[in-house]
Structure 1
Amino acid sequence: MVVAISKAGVITGGAFLSNVTWETLEKLDADLVGTGARLTYLDGYLEIMAPLSEAHEEPKSTLGQLLEIYMRMRNIRFYGRGSTTIGIKELGARKEPDESYCLGTRKSVPDLATEVTVTSGGIDTLEIYRRVGVQEVWFWEDGVISVYCLRPTGYELVSKSELLADLDLRSIEFYSRMADQYDAVNAFMRSL
Structure 2
Amino acid sequence: MKRQALFFFLTVLLLVAGIAIFQLTLPPKINGVIIDPPKPMPDFTLQSAEGPVNLGDFRGKIVVLYFGYLSCPDVCPTTLAALREALNQLGAKAQDAQVIFVSVDYGRDTPEKARDYATNFHPDFLGLAGSKEQVDAVTKDFGIYYLINPPDENGFYTVDHTATVQVLNPAGELIMTWPYGIQPDEIASDLKVLLGR
Q: TM-score normalised by the shorter chain: which range applies?
A: under 0.3
Kindly indicate whether structure 1 or structure 2 has the higher relative contact order, using CA contacts under 8 Å at least 6 residues apart.
Answer: 2
- Higher fraction of helix: 2
- What's the TM-score once normalised by structure 2's chain length? 0.27
Q: TM-score, normalised by structure 1?
A: 0.28
Pair member with larger Rg: 2
